[in-house]
Amino acid sequence: MHQARAIARLALRRSIPSIRIDESREAEKYISPHLRSQVWLLIVNEEFSPLNETRHKHHIIFFQRFSMQLTVTFASSITDEQVTWVKESLAEAGVPAEEKSRTETSVTFTDPSTVTYQIAGDLCRKWLDENLIYGFTVISDSPAS
């Protein structure tokens, strides 16, 4: 129990999104298959209430906070039109990335999402095969466990 509380405090200090659920059925909803990859930590806490002599069980679910960083590199100096093309193409594919930085030949975008790194990578591979870009890097990170 003390270890669970310590972990919860650590997660809260890191500002990891969390939710407290009082019913097991509700907890199952939050860890359904399409959300399972987003659950970083699930704490099931059982408390005894001496007031009415009942046991109370609640769940605290901490969700992962992923971020994606995509750097697209061109063979020569990039233009504003190329950056706009990349951003609009990503948005059409469901990746609402924001420009983070730019160098002479590359542009870096970020997106605080859990799944877009795969979409961005697939899209960039296609562009690379079509010789539309020179290279790319996709990085996805999550909190340390």
Structure confidence by residue, pLDDT tens digits, 84-142: 999 999 888 888 888 989 999 999 888 766 456 778 888 888 888 888 888 888 776 54
Give the strands of the sheet with 135-141, arranged side by side: 98-102, 106-111, 67-73, 135-141
Please give the structure tokens belonging to residue 59: 């769940």
Domain positions in the chain are: 2-63, 67-141
Tell me the pLDDT band of 22, cut-offs 50, 70 and 90: very low
Per CATH, the architecture of 67-141 is what?
2-Layer Sandwich (3.30)
Interatomic CA distance for residues 93 and 115, integer angstroms: 12
pTM equals: 0.53
Cα dist from 67 to 26, 93, 97, 109, 131, whole Å: 27, 17, 10, 11, 27
